[in-house]
Each structure stands twice: as C-alpha cells, then as structure tokens.
Amino acid sequence: MSRPDLIERLAAAQAERARQDLLRRLRKVEAVDGARIQIDGKVLVNFASNDYLGLAQHPALQEALIRAAKQWGVGATAAHLLGGHREEHEALEEKLASWTRHKCALLFSTGYMANLGALQALLDESDVCVQDKLNHACLIDGARLSGATLKRYVHADVGSAKRQLEASADSAALLATDGVFSMDGDVAPLADLAALCKAQRATLMVDDAHGLGVLGDEGAGSLVEANLRQDDAPVLMATLGKALGVSGAFVAGSKALIDGLVQFARTHVYTTAMPPALAAATSAAVDVARFEDWRRAKLRHLVAHFRHGASERGIGLFDSRTPIQPVLVGASRSALIAAQRLEADGYFVPAIRPPTVAQGKARLRVTFSALHDEADVERLLNALARAIAHAQRATKRDR
C-alpha cells in the first residue's frame, strides 16, 4: 500500500517553506504597555498592532468587561439561539447598527466566522461571487464554502469587476470587497463598485475590518466616508478586534438580511455566543471610538508625518492614506533580514511574505496607533532606512 502519511506530508511542506524563507514563527509577547511590547526580554515599539485607536488597554473597556463578567460569569454558556443571547449582545447589536447607519446588526465570534457565515447563507452553487484579487482570505474561503463560482477581478479595477459580472448575467451575484485592504492599506473604489452593482443587480458586500473606527464621520467606516447607505451596500461586515481593541465581528444590513442570517448562517447557529463581558467591553469601545475624534486626528497626523519622512528618505511606500503603511521590500529573505534588524534596533515590524502577499511583493507592514507619538515615527523612519540598506547589502553578498 502506498497511502501517504498526512503528518509527514505536512512536515515536508513546512521544510519547503523554510527553504524559501517563508517559515512563520510564533513569538511570545511577555508584556504589553500601550504601543510598547516585550519579546525575548527586549522592549520594542510595536508597529504591528491593529489597535489603531489605542483602545485594547483602555480603562473604560477593562472596567466594563469586569463588571459584566461579575454579573454574567465568564462564558455565554450556549449558542445565541439556545440561551446564550444576553442583554449585552442585544445592546451592542443596536449600538453597532446605529453607529454604522444600518437597520440591524448580528454578532459573530470572529470576522473569519462572520464572512464564512454570511457568504454561505447568501450564496449557493448556481450563483457567482465576484471578488477583488486582494480580498482577505476569509472572504475567499466563504465563497468556496458556499459552493458558488468564485471569480476574482484585478485589484480595485471596476472595469475588470464589470466584465466578471457581465460574463454571468443570469446568475444571482454577490460582489465582495475589503473596504480597506489589509496588506496594502488602500481603500476600495466603493462608490464606483456600488454603482456597478446597482446597474448589474448584484449585491455589494463590504468587509470593513480596517475601516471601522478609522474612516468616515465618527469613525463609522469606509461606507459612510464614501457617502454610501445600506441600500448601496446591503451587506456590511466589520470586526471588533481591530480599531475597537476587543474581539468578534458583526454583519449589518436590513432586517431581512439579519433575520435570514439568524436562520441560515451556520457560524452563528452552531457556535457558542461571544462572552457577554466582551460585548459589554465592546459597547464601551464603541463610545470611545465614536466620540473621541482626537484619536483619528492623531492617526492622520502620524500617517502624514510618516509618509513625508519616507519620501524624503527614498523609502518606497504604497498608495495608502490609512494607518496601514507597508514598505515594499520585494524578496522574502530581504524582508526577513530587514525585520530582524528593526527588532535589534527596538522596533517590532513583521515581514509579510507569500502566500499572504504575491510572490516578489514581500514587505514590512507598518501600522500606526493613536498611542504612538511623532518621535516614535521619526525614530522608526531612521531605523527603516538603516534596515532596508542593511538587507540590501546582505542579500547582495548572498548572490
């Protein structure tokens, strides 16, 4: 018998990754203090976090969490439909809907599960799902899970999306896009995509994991910034683990959408409800995120300062105005070497390599938080210039 061993095969794939400088490594964080983290006994300025507004350690969130945990206990003890759905969940759903200017919202335990559940509930085998080439992995996986035909269009190219929709004019269609692209930091052409979807009778779904809290009036997200309403983008998904500093996600839209998801989204029905204490902490986070505008103003200032300084130093950036400011390096090995050098200098900026990004597009993914200050950014710029030069010298020597 020649049946392959699955664990051996996995080990072989891992060895191959290591050979290509693509191995990922879990790092144990020993302490966190705002934008500082400690790894291997060394304190580093953290430029890798998605805690854009600096809320993860906010006292109002911590107090809300503890208060609710004392009232409800730690776990929800059941799925939403079977007694796990508490006052805190309901209040948070209403708050999220009103913040994002949608009719209703439904909580999920993670963004990954929200996207899987929404796509699987909406689509079936005879449908098409049209997606941006750079969409997050869980939108791709959700389309695969649904059994619909998945068609990818050229990144942010509305003409390319149009051709994909026109090619299957008789199928029900959903067009899904990230609002802010997680590895490039650019914003999707949402108004044009909404117009395209209207013309093509397709449903637009926007994953605003990195837009909520950061973009738009009161941080309500990329749809509000683009002046789009529920009717233009009927399915909104956003996460609670990024700018809100907590964990979980929600889908927002019409009552018909949310009622349907309660029935058919398997990742909502067949899973334990989010702990009510997390819902309480998230409610506190929404209040801070929504009304403390200075956090967004500070972020914009840091991003502008960084982009200006990078261009002065000849550091190659992406076309991004969000707190996601990747630095293109190219080869995976160079990105790894640069990241190591940055760490030695006191900065945590991870190298992002394939398959997360395309071959030859390895990068240092810098993200900013309202907890950084201008001096942090200035020192990072100098360290980045040194690290990139060092990586270039080192890879030249290899060749």
Ligand X SMILES: *Cc1c(COP(=O)(O)O)cnc(C)c1O
Q: Which residues bind ligand X (CB under 6 A)?
A: 110-112, 115, 136, 138, 178, 182, 207, 209-210, 239, 241, 249
Looking at the Cβ atoms of 224 and 249, the one nearer to ligand X is 249
Looking at the Cβ atoms of 182 and 222, the one nearer to ligand X is 182
Please state, as a whole number, how many other Cβ atoms lie within 10 Å of the Cβ of residue 192. Answer: 15
- The minimum distance between CB 144 and ligand X, in angstroms, equals 15
- The minimum distance between CB 248 and ligand X, in angstroms, equals 7
Q: Give the residue closest to ligand X by C-beta.
A: 111
Number of residues assigned to the chain: 399
Q: Where are the beta strands (DSSP E) in the chain?
A: 29-33, 36-39, 42-46, 104-108, 128-132, 149-153, 173-178, 203-207, 235-239, 249-253, 324-330, 347-348, 351-352, 362-367
Looking at the Cβ atoms of 120 and 182, the one nearer to ligand X is 182
- The minimum distance between CB 116 and ligand X, in angstroms, equals 10
Looking at the Cβ atoms of 234 and 241, the one nearer to ligand X is 241
CB-based contact 124:146 (threshold 8 Å): yes
| Both tokens assigned to 92 | 């948070």
CB-based contact 380:366 (threshold 8 Å): yes
Looking at the Cβ atoms of 38 and 271, the one nearer to ligand X is 271
Instruction: Please tell me what DSSP assigns to residue 39.
Output: E
CA 216, distance to chain mean position in Å, is: 17
- The minimum distance between CB 152 and ligand X, in angstroms, equals 15
- Tokens 């309901």 label which residue? 90
Looking at the Cβ atoms of 275 and 309, the one nearer to ligand X is 275
DSSP string, 314-382: T--B-S--SSEEEEEEESHHHHHHHHHHHHHHTEE--EE-TTTS-TT-EEEEEE--TT--HHHHHHHHH
What angle separates helix 190-200 from helix 158-166, to the nearest 10 degrees?
A: 20
- The minimum distance between CB 249 and ligand X, in angstroms, equals 5
- The minimum distance between CB 63 and ligand X, in angstroms, equals 23
